[in-house]
Copies of this chain bind each other. A is one copy, B any other.
Amino acid sequence: MAKITPRSQDFSRWYNEIVQMADLADYSPVRGCMVIKPYGYTLWENIKEGLDRRFKATGHVNAYFPLFIPMSFLQKEAEHIEGFSPELAVVTIGGGKQLEEPLVVRPTSETIIGHMYAKWIQSYRDLPVLINQWANVVRWEMRTRLFLRTTEFLWQEGHTAHATAEEALEETLRILDLYADFAENDAAIPVIKGRKSESEKFAGAVTSYTIEAMMGDRKALQAGTSHFLGQNFARAFDIKFLDENNQLQYVWTTSWGVSTRMVGAVVMVHGDDQGLILPPKLAPIQAVVVPIWRNDEQRARVLQAADQVRTVLGDRVRLKVDDRDEVSPGWKFNDWEMRGVPLRIEIGPKDVEQKQVVLARRDRPGKEGKTAVPMEGLAEAVVELLSTIQVDLLQRARDFMEAHTTYPEDFEGLREGVANGFAHAWWCGSAECEAKVKEETTATIRCIPLEQEPGKGRCVVCGEEATERAVFARAY
């Protein structure tokens, strides 16, 4: 098996190698586009399932809007077209003929959905509209990375319309909480919930909120965003309703999205030099049985025990029995470690005799993570251990983030802080100070955390009074 570049040596290379060697994705012949391989796509399906369940539990429904958007639609919201125009893919020929109006391949769907909402929404009784869409979108990116930044990517985009600003803002933050809940409880990724600065917000939003996570190289990744769009798109697309007093009003809208980028986050937060480490809730395979034998007689007994494990566990966990003859147990160990299967179940002839199996945790390599467990009560033991692994992965990531977080009080401290991780620093709120940090350190404001101790201090850049700390970090 090919050796992976160690994380510590070259994180970026480690990432690219692991994504391909673990069969998550492959490069495609189309510039900047990727192929999501079955193992990676199953991971994405589990992410989708975790999010979709939460959307539906909070009253959202799915729908589908066209891939193509007339160019004129994007131009209706000034900031929106300014932000997206450098990234557009444009269809100019359809059915062999030059199109009268070029069609943009959606980079995001606020405009086409806004157009439809104007048609569907007449009265306060039609509100709120709580719609989500699972779709592909295209943004012509200059430098691409598998999952992290690709020309085409898969995502969900929620688009809601409300009667009041308060309700829309409440929805924006409800979704932010939902994203954080998914990231922490399903993906085992701790996140900081915060507001984006003006320069980092979504093109067309009044306020953008984000969940930011720390990757294994201590850089930040924006893992999901939720935007309060105010009445910007309502005015651009004339989305009005008659309120209870029979007054015509513009609606208030929100939009929010999580993409296949989340797969990249899972890789970069949990993986190690042996390969992926997948949180049990998202893992395509939660446990793999590796039978160990030296001769045919042993083989028969061991495979019989493996079958028994399948019978006991098959309905409770996503299980794979690796009974391949052509590769050795050691090779299989490496292979499944590379693919990040959370739990390995080893069965050798001695184990069969003693009516037990050996459980080996992917997140604790070596002896420490191994325990012999009796066949009796195995299902309960495995389910419990998977849930322990899930919790431990989150805790480990949380400890890592905390160990690489500083609260500098001056510019030198900030410079050191962003070189090593996240720096929570007082910021006066000016775009100049923000730009200066970027220029001198390449770090940007990831967000202004929603939860922070009240108080004030001096802006680490200009020394002016500041009432909020911002999280500065180098970012993907």
- Which residues does A use to contact B, with CB under 8 Å? 26, 28-31, 33-38, 40-42, 44-45, 61-70, 73, 85-96, 102-103, 105, 112, 115-116, 119-120, 131, 135-136, 138, 140, 142, 151-152, 154
Contact = CB atoms under 8 A, between A and B. Distances in A.
Q: Summarize A's interface: helix, strand, loop or mixed.
A: mixed
**Most B CB within 10 A of own CB, among A35, A86, A112, A152:** A35
A92 B95 contact: no
Contacts of A140: 94-96
A68 B38 contact: no
B35 A65 contact: yes
Nearest to A97: B140
A33 B66 contact: yes
20 contacts: A29-B112, A30-B112, A31-B94, A35-B66, A38-B63, A41-B61, A41-B62, A41-B63, A41-B64, A67-B138, A85-B96, A86-B95, A86-B96, A88-B93, A89-B94, A89-B103, A90-B92, A95-B142, A96-B140, A136-B136
**Most B CB within 10 A of own CB, among A31, A70, A88:** A31
Given A62-B42, A90-B92, A95-B142, A112 B70 contact: no
Given A30-B70, A36-B64, A68-B30, A87 B91 contact: no
Given A36-B63, A44-B64, 8 more contacts: A26-B116, A28-B66, A29-B70, A38-B62, A38-B131, A68-B89, A88-B93, A90-B92
A332 B89 CA distance: 46
A423 to B, nearest CB: 33
Given A45-B62, A62-B41, A86-B95, A29 B142 contact: no
